Amino acid sequence: DKQALKAYRDVTPKRADGTVIEIAANLGSLEEIEAAQDAGAMGVGLFRTELLFMRHIHLPSEDLQAETYATLAKAFAPYPVIVRTLDIGGDKPISGIDFPAEENPFLGWRGIRMCLDRPDVFKPQLRALLRAATHGNIKVMLPMVSGLDEVRAARVLIEECADELKREGKAYAAFDLGVMVETPAAVMIAPMLAREVAFFSIGTNDLTQYIMAADRLNPTVAKLNDVTHPAVMAAIELTAKAGVEAGIMVGMCGEAAGRPDLIPSFVKMGLTELSMSPSSIPRAKKCVLDLETASQGR
């Protein structure tokens, strides 16, 4: 069966109307590049930068980050590599950032909230991303967004970083800026967000936890953490609709993106990028391909 799935490695799955459905990989480190390529990843839909920050005793330098992101970009070019800016909070502390003790870390100081409060942490990452963007197709997405002001503030910082690099005579390139849609607030304002960003990536892991008000790590409420709950599926559909209407790409990078039982619904809603762990990629490609074949048979 695994052997049979290998046949899908170099396949480019398309929707019935010919639109390419990008099946991309979720990665957390450069060590995983080869597995993703072997599986047939059409780029990276989510590069989690947390590991890079947790691995070191100090915060990773701008140079180390630039090198890491450039290696990724080169490995997958011309496919896009979507790098998520640091998404860390009190549940996963790192040295170099003092996190306050919080009663509800998942509702607390994490992701974009922390980054905007700590430009000394955020700006080196943004500068590294601008520099790496000269080496391939880098896109950047912001985690845990709940308001337009966060996107605007991030954009101001990005412009500041670009100005600095220019003054320093360092090479950099602009990148597409997108957001993860993983809070109910982001879903509710999706039509407004869609006017200000280049793409959406739906984070179903957090979106499910927040829509259902059920801690994703608490086994007692695991039953509620169900992406197929009509409330969560409605949130995904609303997001897709807002993105499609605004003409921006809508993708998904939560666990659900790799589920063959859900992929047909997501494609129908208008998602054109699904990012998942490399091992899920061949089956997902087959799944989209089967949809196409079924529609041709009609």
Query: How many chain residues are in contact with ligand PEP, going by CB under 6 A?
Result: 10
Q: Annotation-wise, does 283 bind a ligand?
A: no
Residue 278 near ligand PEP by CB under 6 A: no
Per CB under 5 A, residues contacting Mg ion are 182, 203, 206
Rule CB under 6 A: say whether 253 interacts with ligand PEP: yes
* DSSP summary character for residue 20: B
* Residue 193 identity: L
**Catalytic residue status for 253:** yes
Cα 48 from Cα 277, distance rounded (Å):
12
- State the minimum distance, in angstroms, from the CB of residue 254 to ligand PEP: 3
- Give me the least distance between CB of 205 and ligand PEP, in Å please: 3
Cα within 13 Å of Cα(108), Cβ side: 15
Does residue number 227 form part of the binding site for ligand PEP (CB under 6 A)? no
Q: Supply the minimum distance, in Å, between the C-beta of residue 111 and Mg ion.
A: 8
182 in contact with ligand PEP (CB under 6 A): yes
Q: Is 55 annotated as a binding residue?
A: no
CA angle 169, 173, 174 (to 5 degrees): 130
**Tokens 């809603």, residue located:** 269
Cβ-contact 82, 178 below 8 angstroms: yes
Report the C-alpha gap between 150 and 14 in whole angstroms: 34
Q: Which stretch binds ligand PEP (CB under 6 A): 92-100, 198-206, 227-235, 239-247?
A: 198-206
Crossing angle of helices 62-76/119-132, nearest 10°? Answer: 40
How many Cβ atoms are within 10 Å of 31's Cβ, its own excluded? 9
**Interacting positions 206-225 with ligand PEP (CB under 6 A):** 206
Binding string to ligand PEP for residues 2 to 31, with x set by CB under 6 A, is what? ------------------------------
Handedness of CA 51, 273, 179, 205 (dihedral sign): negative
Which residues of the shown chain bind ligand PEP in the complex (CB under 6 A)?
46, 48, 87, 182, 203-206, 253-254
Task: State the binding site.
Answer: 48, 84, 182, 205-206, 216
Q: Active-site residue numbers?
A: 253
Task: State the binding site for phosphoenolpyruvate.
Answer: 48, 84, 205-206, 216
